[in-house]
Amino acid sequence: MRVTVQVFARLRELAGKSEWQCEVAPGATIGDVWKTSAGAYPALADFSRSVSCARNEDFARMSAPVQDGDVIAFLPPVSGG
């Protein structure tokens, strides 16, 4: 199945793009989407321990399952204010 991946801020710069499609196996989790993405864009891997994620514009856990057509966002540590 296929999901859309979005990245922001430093992750966007490291990947060189803000959005892409990612193929994952049925039953895959957000964590699997991250691993696949970090495989395609190795510069992202440094953030494996400091990334948070959202599924369809709501915060989610890396262990959450994904469905075909989901939009998965990966967020570096935030710095608003």
Partner 1 sequence: MQVPRFLITSEPLAVERLAASLEQASRHVDEGCGAVCTFVGVVRATHKGQRVQHLEYEAFEPLAMKVFQRIDAEVGAEWPSASLGIHHRIGRLSIGEASVAIAATSAHRAESFRVCRYAIERVKQVLPIWKHEFFEGGDAWVEGALADVDDEAARIRAHEVACA
Answer for the pair 29, 65: CB distance below 8 angstroms, yes or no: yes
Query: From the list 25, 58, 63, 68, which residue makes contact with partner 1 (rule: CB under 8 A)?
Result: 58
Binding residue for partner 1, selected from 2, 9, 17, 40, defined by CB under 8 A: 9
CB of 25 to partner 1, least distance (A): 27
**In this chain, which stretch among 21-29, 31-39, 62-70, 71-79 interacts with partner 1, using CB under 8 A?**
71-79
The residues in 16-35 that bind partner 1, with binding defined as CB under 8 A, are none
Q: Which of 59, 65, 67, 69 binds partner 1 (CB under 8 A)?
A: 59
Cβ neighbours of residue 65 closer than 8 Å, sequence gap 6 or more: 27, 28, 29
Residue closer to partner 1, measured from CB, 27 or 41 = 41
